Structure 1
Amino acid sequence: MLSKPLLTVHEAAQLLKVKEATIRQWIRDQQMRAIKFGREWRIAEADLERFVNDHANR
């Protein structure tokens, strides 16, 4: 079972302060890992954190 709930595109966009279309584009470009349930995408918190860390300036 999942230890943490999956985030919607809307919730991920709110957390990153970007538009939902940006999240969908990152998913489509396979930059962000996501799971599709029917017509909706879900993002694990760990995958969102990994995405942010991978794109941070060093």
Structure 2
Amino acid sequence: MRNDEILTVKEVADLLKTTRQQVRKMIANEELPAVKVGREWRVLKAGIMEFFEQNI
């Protein structure tokens, strides 16, 4: 998986081994950078890597 890939909430949840609801909470709390495309959220894989760097 490349760092410039765009992931769905479900893909992020699978990657983080959590629920889609928890990913949406992380987005709402601005813990995870994301953009809204239409009605759905999208997350750059680079944003997930940044999240890990800041929280580990």
- State the TM-score, normalizing by the size of structure 1: 0.85
Task: Point out the structure with the larger strand share.
Answer: 2
> Structure 1: which 5+ runs fail to align?
none
**2 CA distance for matches of 1:55 and 1:4?**
20
Count of residue correspondences? 54
1:4 aligns with 2:1: no
Root mean square deviation, CA, Å: 1.3
- State the TM-score, normalizing by the size of structure 2: 0.88
Alignment correspondent of 2:17: 17
Q: Please report how far the alpha carbon of residue 4 of structure 1 lies from its aligned counterpart in structure 2 after TM superposition.
A: 3.1
Question: Runs of 4 or more off by more than 2 Å in structure 1?
Answer: none
Q: Please report how far the alpha carbon of residue 21 of structure 1 lies from its aligned counterpart in structure 2 after TM superposition.
A: 0.6
What SS class does the counterpart of residue 18 from structure 1 fall into?
A: coil
Alignment correspondent of 1:29: 29
> Structure 2: which 5+ runs fail to align?
none
